[in-house]
Structure 1
Amino acid sequence: MVLWTNFPLTMSTLAIIDAFKDLPDHRRGAGRRHNQPLCLALFTLSVTAGCRGFIAISDWLKSYRADLLALFEPAKDRLPSYSTIRRVLLDLDYKAYSACLASFFEIEPLSGETLAFEGKVLRGSYNVETPASTSESHRAIQLVTVYIVERGLILPIQPVDKKSNEITAFPPVLQALAQRGVVFAFDALNTQKNMSGNH
């Protein structure tokens, strides 16, 4: 993983900053004291370091404050707080963030690696435009996850059409990855005769 692109080392040249520079910032102008790509870079690094909550992120920011200031050189020599990072995440397009992250970490399956497929149903999911209590009835959101076993990495998560299911969602993902010389692993649900015969 390359954290920066060239020297001298300034925030504008850090590759992890550039990875998120094109994501739209939905915060109001008055609430943009800190650069959104910086907030996302710090969030990404803290989670990579093992933080599993905003209190843990806060502790991580305090513990490595001097190093982070030297690395990112933020405006006015100030880092965003964990609450600022949280506000950025509230309005974040996670699909776009996931794509940026996959590109930054160069997550691509290599020949000979094993890809494990898993379908998940998000219980209690509902339309974000309306409160859960008033949302029209609909099927729960379904996702397909592809996991690179040898490296413990997850490829960009694939949504499943609400009128479909994970069995019919797998073939397009298979077709996109089958030419890479990888090994596929499924659970019993996805060892359908038609799918195995065609792929």
Structure 2
Amino acid sequence: MQIEIFSKVKDPRDLGKVKHELEDVLRMALIGVLCDCEDCDDISDMVTDREEEFKAAGLLKLSNGVPCGDTILRVVESVNPAQLRASLDCCRGHIIESLCGNQVIIDGKKLRGENPRSPGCHGLYILNAWVSETEICVAEKPVDGKTNELTVLPSVLSSLWLTGALVSVDAMGTHRNIAEQIMLQGGDYLMALKDNQPILKSLTESIFSRTTPLSVYTTEEKGHGRVEKRTCSIMDTTLLEQEGMYEKWPGLKRIIKMERERTENGARSRETIYYLSSVEKDEASYYAMRIRAHWGIENKLHWHLDVTFREDMCRVRAKNGAVNFSAMRKYALEMLKKQNDKLSLKRRRKKCMWSTEYLYKVFKDS
């Protein structure tokens, strides 16, 4: 089944000295991620032990034997992340061709493993764009340690076809220029409003304190010894626009108040967060659903990268290694989720390691 996965990646090596095919080396790295290998030496050792199995299944060619761990690492570190990303996007096919009707969630994740050769390095920060409905990561970009997410966010948005999509961001992305860019690209936005917009937040709090909302929606969940109550209220922007200090926000149609009250073991906590949205709907339930969906990126992507794939344990930091392995983990997660069996994702990784037949099926179904 030697369909090229990494067809858009240009070989950065001196072709006169190349012993192992680029597709084979990168495919080995992806197999290692699927098979719960801890590092590139593990990958090389595993493939060496099962070389004939992998060749017979068509997973690898290995025309000149199995590359060592250092070779695999050097190749992954040296290939262009944008080209690697483009190759994996081709494999995702029609899933990311149109985001119309979907919620695109933007959030960052830090890879906390430290490189012992780089004192003071506390991990790479990557900004991810994740689709709630398909659970697919459709864009990712590293954030330079000397800057912040806001400087990278415009380029992440520019890489996506946002017509008809709802883009949700936390407070770091709540800026007029970001709202304007999303609208210009044909999308809508849902933005958390916190202390980085103090005047607008104060006005919003004041309006909700003295005015009856257009709509209110309340849910209550019980389980594991705790009770959580969520109340979502919405307003239009009429009163906001009457305030002299308010500078009109691009496309703004609704302001939203989300109150969370949690009781656990007799202790009660409360939290109130405000949101801005360009979507003009009169049902608070719509916004409550979208706000809740925003946190799916933490539970269904970031949690699995940390726990299922132990991303924070990875010590690869040189050149493009961390970014490229992160992209492979996200693609491997998508591959494993497609398996229609009763195994957990962790056990599916283990089974990929134990069973060439199962590993072949994971590739075949992707």
Which bin holds the TM-score, normalised by the shorter protein? 0.5 to 0.7
What CA deviation, in whole Å up to 9, does each residue of 1:27-49 have, x standing for no partner?
4733x211122111221232234
Is contact 1:116–1:149 with CA below 8 Å preserved after alignment?
Answer: yes
In the alignment, the residues of structure 2 paired with residue 53 and residue 150 of structure 1 have an alpha-carbon distance, to the nearest angstrom, of 32
| Cα distance change of structure 1 residues 87 and 174 upon mapping to structure 2, 3 Å threshold | closer
In the alignment, the residues of structure 1 paired with residue 73 and residue 142 of structure 2 have an alpha-carbon distance, to the nearest angstrom, of 24
Is contact 2:140–2:156 with CA below 8 Å preserved after alignment?
Answer: no
Q: Does 1:51 align with 2:40?
A: no
Q: 1:171: Cα distance to partner?
A: 4.7
Normalising to structure 1: TM-score of the pair?
A: 0.62
What is the root-mean-square deviation of aligned Cα atoms in Å?
Answer: 4.0
Q: 1:23: Cα distance to partner?
A: 0.7
In the alignment, the residues of structure 1 paired with residue 107 and residue 141 of structure 2 have an alpha-carbon distance, to the nearest angstrom, of 11
Q: 1:97: Cα distance to partner?
A: 1.9
In the alignment, the residues of structure 1 paired with residue 172 and residue 91 of structure 2 have an alpha-carbon distance, to the nearest angstrom, of 33
Q: Does 1:192 align with 2:175?
A: yes
Structure 1: any 5+ residue segments left out of the alignment?
Answer: 5-10, 124-131, 134-140
Query: The residue matched to 2:5 in structure 1 has which SS?
Result: helix
Which residue does the alignment assign to 1:148? 131
Which protein shows a greater Rg?
Answer: 2
In the alignment, the residues of structure 1 paired with residue 155 and residue 173 of structure 2 have an alpha-carbon distance, to the nearest angstrom, of 13
Q: 1:198: Cα distance to partner?
A: 3.1
Which residue does the alignment assign to 1:73? 61
Is contact 1:113–1:182 with CA below 8 Å preserved after alignment?
Answer: yes
Moved more, 184-193 or 33-42: 184-193
Q: 1:80: Cα distance to partner?
A: 2.5
Q: Does 1:157 align with 2:140?
A: yes
What CA deviation, in whole Å up to 9, does each residue of 1:135-159 have, x standing for no partner?
xxxxxx9753212334443223246
The amino acid of 1:44's aligned partner reads L
The amino acid of 1:177's aligned partner reads W
Query: The residue matched to 1:75 in structure 2 has which SS?
Result: coil
Query: The residue matched to 1:155 in structure 2 has which SS?
Result: strand
Normalising to structure 2: TM-score of the pair?
A: 0.37
Query: The residue matched to 1:116 in structure 2 has which SS?
Result: strand
Q: Give 1 or 2: higher strand fraction.
A: 2
Is contact 1:117–1:144 with CA below 8 Å preserved after alignment?
Answer: yes
Alignment of 1:1-199 (within 5 A): 4=1, 14-16=3-5, 19-20=7-8, 22-27=9-14, 29-30=16-17, 32-62=18-48, 64-70=50-56, 71=58, 72-76=60-64, 78-106=65-93, 108=96, 110-119=99-108, 144-158=127-141, 166-167=149-150, 169-171=152-154, 173-174=156-157, 176-179=160-163, 181-192=164-175, 195=179, 197-198=249-250
How many residues align structurally? 172
Q: Percent identity?
A: 24
